[in-house]
Structure 1
């Protein structure tokens, strides 16, 4: 409502007519000054008269340029912002100063960004909620159907191995180990799809399990500092923190070639936010563009008004920071 009121109140002459009025005013003032001055023009023009005319023309052009710069300068800033704006980095705005068409255009563009960011956050929230629901369904089916079927196969193979001849027992045991490995893989996929420990034991336990699993699978040296005294974030924010940490460790395993990874989860000094920090000693981000994984993390961060930064670490490698604000008491209810 306030944005619309400012736009309605600021509507005036079109930009074309404002430029014409500025040029007309400068030329009128310049003509009046020359007419009131004692300067005269002879035929042919004398050198002294030509100098006076040149000075007068220079003053008129400089005054005209300064006025047009003040009028049209904000348009250049708006163009640069339009070229660089990214809805996954919310909060990019231009200051709404002055009046006139340029100020009106900046106000309209800022209002459009607010609307697009809100719509993007809403649509991303719906898509990610549907994704989590589908993950939960697939995880449940894998656990209930595939997992139970493989468990039954293992029990059957155990009975067969007990009754099989000595020359076949080794082959049956080999098949039994293959089935057991497949069951472990199914359970691992289920944990990735829907971390039950997050629902049952909380965020710190879920991240501990995630970091331990990463160390087991990659062989990397992993350090962690997970504060047990975290302010309450709510289930949505906790899921965002977990998924961002999961994606960050996946990127480290795939791209970083790191030998050491550190994961920190601590409250800020003021206690109004929680910070997740993932640092590796790998090859670093370099000049590569952000991939789908990082953009997916930015979309998740938008859902809880969190701030995500990814860049090179001062000692080499890559550093990821996720700053999640603690919801107010009335928001948690």
Structure 2
């Protein structure tokens, strides 16, 4: 079965083709970073309008890259939530229109499920069960994954996500949007031990996170340095970037290893945009080697939001018998707030 997937939850427009037997056939992605840089963050109205401009050309590009026509598609998948309401509606309406015109089933996909399963697009791919560290711009969670639709939340952030901590710190340091990658690049020039920053909840007995205090500590440090000597020097900014990155990675790594020990599992999967961070990848690789375990990451070009993870999640649901392919009503809604528990087997309708 050939599935076309559409992703438009925030500031990336993604389209992909996946075969339930052969895997990813083709994908295309347009990032809105350049457009939003002027505003220092995502402007929802502009994001929605840009999705409208990009989604059909990307669809044609993906079909051409796979050597296929619209008539070769057997099902349509789209991100139904969570995300920006207007942006979600673009992808959902295009997907449902495509499905209606062709008499195909349309499969709504949870954005975080797409991220959770995206490392299975890599080679080698992890087998079930595994522990998943989901670290994206708005989410930081640790889950036990026993199969498609079988997700158990082990811990999550109580306030800011790790990606938000990166972005907010980057803004304090006067870096551009998106802040996370910019901060990581600057951190390579700094000395992490030059300033001491807190590791919130590092030693708590649970698997929860908290990053708002780290952001506050960076803000206090910036004000203190500016009061003492005016504007921050280039080295001071680099040192703060390095110290912030080290603090976030320390917490993410510690909680991940604690989850591995508590569950007794030997496979760790890292998904989401922060999973592209080279410091985090190296740290988790070393830690898992000491535990005689394995760590898996999605391909770098699939760490951010993309259509491949949506089409692939739909294919996995089809193969597991969890997708309703008989519903041809094409009535739909989007869910800007949508708990992942709602798509788990335990919460699924009979």
* TM-score band, normalised by shorter chain: under 0.3
TM-score by length of 1: 0.22
Please state which structure has a larger fraction of its residues in strand.
2
TM-score by length of 2: 0.21
Please state which structure has a larger fraction of its residues in helix.
1
